[in-house]
Protein backbone atom coordinates (compact mmCIF):
# COMPACT_ATOMS: atom_id res chain seq x y z
CA UNK A 1 0.00 0.00 0.00
CA UNK A 2 1.51 3.34 -1.01
CA UNK A 3 0.80 5.97 1.62
CA UNK A 4 -1.42 8.58 0.03
CA UNK A 5 -3.73 10.34 2.45
CA UNK A 6 -3.39 11.64 5.99
CA UNK A 7 -5.60 8.93 7.49
CA UNK A 8 -3.45 6.17 5.99
CA UNK A 9 -0.28 7.99 7.07
CA UNK A 10 -1.55 8.21 10.65
CA UNK A 11 -2.48 4.53 10.62
CA UNK A 12 1.06 3.74 9.43
CA UNK A 13 2.63 5.96 12.10
CA UNK A 14 0.61 4.14 14.75
CA UNK A 15 2.03 0.73 13.85
CA UNK A 16 5.45 1.53 12.38
CA UNK A 17 7.35 1.95 15.65
CA UNK A 18 6.05 -1.38 16.97
CA UNK A 19 6.93 -3.15 13.73
CA UNK A 20 10.36 -1.50 13.68
CA UNK A 21 11.11 -2.80 17.18
CA UNK A 22 9.84 -6.27 16.24
CA UNK A 23 11.85 -6.33 12.99
CA UNK A 24 15.02 -5.59 14.95
CA UNK A 25 14.44 -8.02 17.85
CA UNK A 26 17.69 -9.96 17.69
CA UNK A 27 16.63 -12.86 19.88
CA UNK A 28 13.49 -13.89 18.01
CA UNK A 29 13.66 -14.66 14.30
CA UNK A 30 9.96 -15.55 14.14
CA UNK A 31 9.02 -12.08 15.40
CA UNK A 32 11.39 -10.50 12.86
CA UNK A 33 9.85 -12.57 10.07
CA UNK A 34 6.31 -11.61 11.08
CA UNK A 35 7.31 -7.93 11.26
CA UNK A 36 8.91 -8.07 7.81
CA UNK A 37 5.71 -9.58 6.43
CA UNK A 38 3.56 -6.97 8.19
CA UNK A 39 5.78 -4.12 6.98
CA UNK A 40 5.07 -5.34 3.47
CA UNK A 41 1.63 -3.72 3.71
CA UNK A 42 3.18 -0.23 3.78
CA UNK A 43 5.35 1.03 0.94
CA UNK A 44 7.29 4.15 1.83
CA UNK A 45 10.92 5.11 2.33
CA UNK A 46 10.93 4.07 6.00
CA UNK A 47 9.74 0.55 5.25
CA UNK A 48 12.00 0.25 2.21
CA UNK A 49 14.98 1.22 4.37
CA UNK A 50 14.00 -1.15 7.16
CA UNK A 51 13.39 -4.08 4.82
CA UNK A 52 16.66 -3.38 3.02
CA UNK A 53 18.44 -3.48 6.37
CA UNK A 54 16.83 -6.85 7.21
CA UNK A 55 17.75 -8.16 3.75
CA UNK A 56 21.39 -7.18 4.13
CA UNK A 57 21.94 -7.79 7.85
CA UNK A 58 19.61 -10.41 9.26
CA UNK A 59 21.26 -13.57 10.56
CA UNK A 60 18.38 -15.81 9.43
CA UNK A 61 17.97 -16.58 5.75
CA UNK A 62 14.15 -16.84 5.92
CA UNK A 63 13.93 -13.24 7.17
CA UNK A 64 16.33 -12.03 4.48
CA UNK A 65 14.34 -13.86 1.83
CA UNK A 66 11.00 -12.39 2.99
CA UNK A 67 12.46 -8.88 2.91
CA UNK A 68 13.91 -9.52 -0.54
CA UNK A 69 10.60 -10.78 -1.94
CA UNK A 70 8.70 -7.73 -0.70
CA UNK A 71 11.30 -5.27 -1.96
CA UNK A 72 11.39 -7.00 -5.32
CA UNK A 73 7.57 -6.87 -5.55
CA UNK A 74 7.82 -3.13 -4.96
CA UNK A 75 10.25 -2.79 -7.86
CA UNK A 76 13.31 -2.06 -5.73
CA UNK A 77 16.67 -2.92 -7.26
CA UNK A 78 17.89 -5.54 -4.76
CA UNK A 79 20.04 -8.64 -4.99
CA UNK A 80 18.71 -11.94 -3.63
CA UNK A 81 20.23 -13.06 -0.33
CA UNK A 82 22.83 -15.80 -0.37
CA UNK A 83 22.30 -18.65 2.08
CA UNK A 84 25.39 -19.01 4.25
CA UNK A 85 26.95 -22.44 4.34
CA UNK A 86 28.83 -24.09 7.15
CA UNK A 87 29.29 -22.52 10.55
CA UNK A 88 27.01 -19.48 10.87
CA UNK A 89 28.52 -18.43 14.21
CA UNK A 90 32.30 -18.37 14.49
CA UNK A 91 33.55 -20.71 17.21
CA UNK A 92 30.23 -22.52 17.57
CA UNK A 93 31.71 -25.86 18.60
CA UNK A 94 33.84 -24.24 21.30
CA UNK A 95 30.79 -22.41 22.68
CA UNK A 96 28.70 -25.59 22.69
CA UNK A 97 31.47 -27.54 24.45
CA UNK A 98 31.60 -24.89 27.20
CA UNK A 99 27.85 -25.16 27.69
CA UNK A 100 27.99 -28.96 27.79
CA UNK A 101 30.88 -28.88 30.29
CA UNK A 102 28.90 -26.54 32.54
CA UNK A 103 26.18 -29.17 32.96
CA UNK A 104 26.31 -32.28 35.20
CA UNK A 105 27.83 -35.37 33.55
CA UNK A 106 24.45 -37.11 33.47
CA UNK A 107 22.55 -34.22 31.84
CA UNK A 108 20.06 -34.85 29.05
CA UNK A 109 19.82 -33.31 25.61
CA UNK A 110 16.86 -31.24 26.85
CA UNK A 111 19.01 -29.87 29.70
CA UNK A 112 21.62 -28.87 27.13
CA UNK A 113 19.08 -27.29 24.79
CA UNK A 114 17.52 -25.26 27.62
CA UNK A 115 20.91 -24.05 28.85
CA UNK A 116 21.93 -23.04 25.31
CA UNK A 117 18.68 -21.11 24.98
CA UNK A 118 19.27 -19.32 28.30
CA UNK A 119 22.96 -18.60 27.85
CA UNK A 120 23.17 -17.90 24.12
CA UNK A 121 19.73 -17.05 22.80
CA UNK A 122 21.43 -15.37 19.83
CA UNK A 123 23.01 -18.64 18.68
CA UNK A 124 19.84 -20.59 19.42
CA UNK A 125 17.84 -18.10 17.35
CA UNK A 126 20.22 -18.08 14.38
CA UNK A 127 20.35 -21.85 14.07
CA UNK A 128 16.67 -22.44 14.84
CA UNK A 129 15.83 -20.00 12.05
CA UNK A 130 18.34 -21.56 9.69
CA UNK A 131 17.53 -25.22 10.35
CA UNK A 132 13.75 -24.87 10.69
CA UNK A 133 12.01 -28.17 11.44
CA UNK A 134 15.38 -29.97 11.47
CA UNK A 135 16.77 -27.80 14.29
CA UNK A 136 16.22 -30.24 17.17
CA UNK A 137 17.67 -33.15 15.23
CA UNK A 138 20.70 -31.05 14.22
CA UNK A 139 21.27 -29.74 17.75
CA UNK A 140 20.93 -33.18 19.30
CA UNK A 141 23.52 -34.54 16.85
CA UNK A 142 25.86 -31.65 17.73
CA UNK A 143 25.34 -32.29 21.45
CA UNK A 144 26.03 -36.02 21.09
CA UNK A 145 29.23 -35.37 19.15
CA UNK A 146 30.71 -32.85 21.58
CA UNK A 147 33.71 -33.93 23.61
CA UNK A 148 33.90 -32.77 27.22
CA UNK A 149 37.50 -33.79 27.86
Q: In degrees, to the nearest 5, what angle opens at C-alpha 24 toward C-alphas 65 and 67?
A: 20
Please provide the average confidence, as pLDDT, over all residues in the chain: 90
pLDDT at residue 146 above 80? yes
Can you say how many angstroms the Cα of residue 72 is from the centroid of all Cα atoms in its chain?
A: 20
pLDDT given at position 1 = 47
**Alpha-carbon gap, residue 26 to 58, rounded angstroms:** 9
For 7, the 3-state DSSP assignment is: helix
Q: In degrees, to the nearest 5, what angle opens at C-alpha 81 toward C-alphas 27 and 79?
A: 135
pLDDT given at position 149 = 59
pLDDT at residue 3 above 60? no
pLDDT digits (tens, 9 = 90+) for 4-54: 545 567 777 878 889 999 999 888 999 999 999 999 988 999 999 999 999
Contacts of 63 (CB under 8 A, 6+ apart): 29, 32, 33, 36, 54, 129
Q: Taking the model in full, what pTM does it have?
A: 0.80
Compare 147 and 81 and report the one with higher pLDDT: 81
pLDDT given at position 139 = 97
Amino acid sequence: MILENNETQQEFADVYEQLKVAANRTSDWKTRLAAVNDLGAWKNQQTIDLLTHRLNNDTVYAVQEAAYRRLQEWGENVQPPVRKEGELVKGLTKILVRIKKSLPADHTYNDFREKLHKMRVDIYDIYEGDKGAEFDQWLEQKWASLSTR
